């Protein structure tokens, strides 16, 4: 090595990091022989932290700012080894830059359906997916627990583990929440906050946090969705007899407008028209006046869905309870008029005495006792 190379290696170092990859979480400053000179300048920008590792031991963590690596402002380094050599560094040191900004638009989702018990449909399987945001809150712990000696650690290396933690907590929260599937779309914001709170303790041990977690969609299996679509279509159709006549009239109109159908389209339209006319002008018995065609009766509406109730007392919730169970609770004195209750579809918690369906339970009194 020439004299110029030797002198250039002994000049004051300028240690800094500018990241343009958008997915790098930790980057190690590379120096020949890992020699950090006495008096080197360390620049830590906003959204970064610098972790100083001296001879394999974590020495200090630097927040954003400009630092001179001297013993005067590095008491931790002074206790490890004296820096009293101007042109020779008898030790090895490393500096890891940690990105403390938020990593946004990270994906999560359930690989397999989650089984939960719905108050209306019974056991159902659901899937969900969404996005989340994470950031490093404790650079020293993140370096020691996750990164190790990796010179360039990216978000992809830990995103799979975070997704597994989110899915595990989502499955547990959904299975125990008791929220009907049809009402989950209205509660995705609260569910996202609840899941983020539940996984915060686990991620804190990694030196990470999740500031935001979003549930974009909760879906049912295709067979269940098809059954729901049929049920919705039946509700929209109304009277099936009138709906059948309307469909026949539409088919006649379409056949008449089809020029390529020829005689077949015309014959089909005439046949359907004659059948409808015969149905509408069918003669009555014994030469009586023509009577209108019998109307197909609409199917009876589905039976009403029994409400299930949740109670709240002392900051704790219980349930769900059926109306019969609520009646027994009134008889036992554990449910009162001022007890707060909630049922799916209800706007917030209300007192039991304010709900007509439950107020009846408090007015049912036994008859007078028989005469002795």
Collapsed DSSP state (helix, strand, coil) of residue 344: coil
- pTM, entire model: 0.55
For residue 114, what are the β-bridge partners?
126
Torsion angle of the four alpha carbons 139, 144, 146, 148, in this order, in degrees rounded to the nearest 10: 110
Q: Give residue-wise pLDDT tens across range 20-54.
A: 888 999 999 877 665 677 778 889 999 999 998 88
State yes or no: pLDDT of 281 exceeds 60: no
| pLDDT score at 219 | 86
Q: Using one digit for the tens of pLDDT, what is the confidence trace for 184-215?
A: 888 888 889 989 998 998 999 999 999 999 99
How far is residue 130 from each of residues 17, 37, 174, 249, 342, measured CA to CA in Å?
Answer: 32, 47, 15, 46, 28
Mean pLDDT for 207-230 is 85
pLDDT for 365 equals: 56
C-alpha 187/C-alpha 196 separation (Å) is 14
What pLDDT score was predicted for residue 269? 54
Tally Cβ neighbours within 10 Å of residue 280. 12
Residues 341/355, Cβ–Cβ less than 8 Å:
yes
- Domains, the chain, ordered by start: 3-99 (no CATH), 103-222 (3.30.479.30), 309-363 (3.30.1490)
| 333 has pLDDT over 60 | yes
CA-CA distances (angstroms) from residue 317 to 178, 292, 340, 349, 354? 11, 59, 10, 11, 19
Residue 104: strand, helix, or coil: strand
Lowest mean pLDDT among 110-119, 330-339, 361-370: 361-370
Higher-pLDDT residue of 346, 204: 204
């Amino acid at each position: 090595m020439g004299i110029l190379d030797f002198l250039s290696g002994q000049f004051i170092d300028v240690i800094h990091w500018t990241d343009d990859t958008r997915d790098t979480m930790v980057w190690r400053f590379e120096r020949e022989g890992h020699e950090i000179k006495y008096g080197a300048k360390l620049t830590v920008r906003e959204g970064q932290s610098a972790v100083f590792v001296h001879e394999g031991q974590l020495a200090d963590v630097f927040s954003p700012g400009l630092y001179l690596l001297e013993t005067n402002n590095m008491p931790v380094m002074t206790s490890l080894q004296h820096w009293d050599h101007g042109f020779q560094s008898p030790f090895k040191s490393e500096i890891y830059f940690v990105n403390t900004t938020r990593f946004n638009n990270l994906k999560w989702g359930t690989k397999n359906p989650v089984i939960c018990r719905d108050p209306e449909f019974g056991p159902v399987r659901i899937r969900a997916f969404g996005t989340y945001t994470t950031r490093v809150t404790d650079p020293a712990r993140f370096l020691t627990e996750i990164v190790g000696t990796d010179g360039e650690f990216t978000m992809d290396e830990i995103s799979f583990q975070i997704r597994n933690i989110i899915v595990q907590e989502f499955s547990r929260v959904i299975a125990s929440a008791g929220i009907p599937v049809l009402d989950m779309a209205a509660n995705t914001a609260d569910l996202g906050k609840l899941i983020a709170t539940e996984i915060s303790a686990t991620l804190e041990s990694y030196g990470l946090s999740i500031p935001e977690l979003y549930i974009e969609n909760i879906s049912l299996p295709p067979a269940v969705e098809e059954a729901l679509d049929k049920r919705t279509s039946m509700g929209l159709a109304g009277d099936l007899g009138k709906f059948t006549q309307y469909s026949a009239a539409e088919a006649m109109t379409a056949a008449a407008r089809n020029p390529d159908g020829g005689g077949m389209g015309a014959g089909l339209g005439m046949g359907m028209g004659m059948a409808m006319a015969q149905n509408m002008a069918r003669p009555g018995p014994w030469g009586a006046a023509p009577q209108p065609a019998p109307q197909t009766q609409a199917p009876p509406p589905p039976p009403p869905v029994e409400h299930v109730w949740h109670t709240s007392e002392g900051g704790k919730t219980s349930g769900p309870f059926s109306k019969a169970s609520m009646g027994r609770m009134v008889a036992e004195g554990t449910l009162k008029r001022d007890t707060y209750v909630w049922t799916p579809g209800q706007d917030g918690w209300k007192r039991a005495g304010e709900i007509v369906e439950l107020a009846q339970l408090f007015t049912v009194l036994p008859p007078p006792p028989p005469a002795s």
